[in-house]
Structure 1
């Protein structure tokens, strides 16, 4: 299952916060400026209406130069005005045939007229005139888009508010870069921990240069690795002691049986050899978990195959089987642990010996990427060919014990390689250690 890393979680959280902040800021600014716009519009309308009322107080016919200038300013801004009598009829206007809204008497009010015909939406004010004479109210209205503050709001949204988005994006990118830098020691420790395996249990996470909070985690992991290494070493010592304690009585028993000429004694000797093989495999399985080698440790696969063939030849010939060694294309060099590769190959050859028929041939072949061991036995089961190598208790053949290939599989995994199983068309099995 795919999971977000800590850095990805922080980036996602910061991105959400940034976009919420942008949205909240836009909404707040819109509401705030809309309120200010309404206030400014109302003050503008009130100013024009009050100018007309002052001029009307000194010039009821609004024919003076100042009154004419006030009316011209209203027309220049595409506004409209009307001076209403107490009976609601128009005394003076900007060309209107009727009042903008019905005359309501001595109550001032703001109003908005929806667009109609070629007329845009109008926002206006109607104020009563508490003066002697026939005038009753002054009405002034402007198109909403022609009030000064509307254009200011539009310019803000278009030219200024958009700066907020890239600013937040730059701030977010900066925070992400800072987070990446801050989490670099943690990523370094994670990468080092990912490289630690059974073959490198002596490796520890770097403590120098770590921040104090990360250093506490690194020290805890290193302490756990120390305990694991101690457990591995104790297990290896125990396996060696156990093998020694078991092999000694077995060797004594085999020596005593060799003095007997009875056929049953020969059968028991073979049984003891199988027991020794199982003990050796159990010890090898424990030791392979502590496998460790350096990059400079170079192994000649041809040399290892030669040593294994020479080591097991007496046993193979004594069992009535044959062995041959083929080395193709000269030396084949790999980086690895020679002793462990030797034991893995020995397990393959012993496994082939265990399943080879009388006078059967066991062939060890060294080629440019590995070693293969072929025999003329019954071959691997179909289930075994489909399964992965390395599971304890899985049998190698119909009557196998289930340890040999498991050890080889773990050894190859520690060398970044694999073991490949196949059956030969002519009969028999072939196991390949591919590096």
Structure 2
């Protein structure tokens, strides 16, 4: 099922349920009001007629000529028919516009409820109501407390029964029209909402179909294409913008991978060419043992270079998901730096390297010593390589906020501002390094940056061309530990 149909189905189902509940509630309340009004009017007529009867001690009086009136003639429910029944079931008076159906029902209500005479007897019997065959009937009986069976006047009776009735056909017609109203109008509204809703959803999602077609048309190696969209600022525009950014990142990664492969091939070609050249020259004629040893030494050196390049490439090619989390442990940084100083690749410039410690007592870091040593060795080696002998190289350790910093500062050639952002890319070498012919593969800082990220920190560089550079390794600060605790962790 398409997204358009799912959205429409959901909202139409919700709208249908709401309309159905509204119709049921509206019909129930309105129909109850109509029925109540119908019954109240009928009961009101009955009470009015009962009030016209004069109940005395020995008789009930009714003046026929004074009460020849009609009720509800102009009412929407129709006229209310009534009849007053006297002793022996004789109709004393009735409404002028009488209905034969009403009279047939009155004929069945001429009997009286037997009431024994006495001083405490009720003179008024509760009203009775019946609804059958399209008519609603109400009757009520009034009796004299102590009737005396003597000759009476025409308007005097022992008891009277007042019967009122009304056809339920007009009321039922009103309820039927109400039922049609609460059924057809919601259906019409639901149908209009279905048509308009489907049109609006299709219109709103049309850009999604267009973006899907554009995305399918983009080939696996075509990262220059982008999705076209309107700058409406809605969610679809955000989706297209996010997808275009994804394509941009994919293009950047693809270009970086292509450069990586090309530069790796270039770096591997140089030592391989030297190896093949040395082998070919050696095989041209017989050589002495000394010459063979010299050639093998050259081959060993170049093979070692190849091994370093391949290991570096494997380290950089390994994704973060593939790489396992190194074993981290806490150790004091100051004694560790002092012990590592003897292993720094400073060659003949040991006096130029200065170690400055600005750490509190027992300041520690949580890291892998071997990986941390590789980063610091690389930074110190670069400082030695790109600075003049006799210029200071400062290795500084300090704490800043919640981080522990290891800085390597030199006064060497420096790096231009536009090249600093590319400094940690694999195989990148500054233009000054290439101009001066300084040996290197451009992989050391890339590896150092990856290790810093693995240890939970980051590697930064601030450099000025011709004035030197400052590399800062930032690591999360660990709680100070004592020497005994540090040894137990080791």
TM-score (norm 2): 0.40
TM-score (norm 1): 0.45
Normalized per residue, which structure has more helix?
A: 1
Structure of greater Rg: 2
Larger relative contact order, structure 1 or 2 (CA cutoff 8 Å, min sep 6): 2
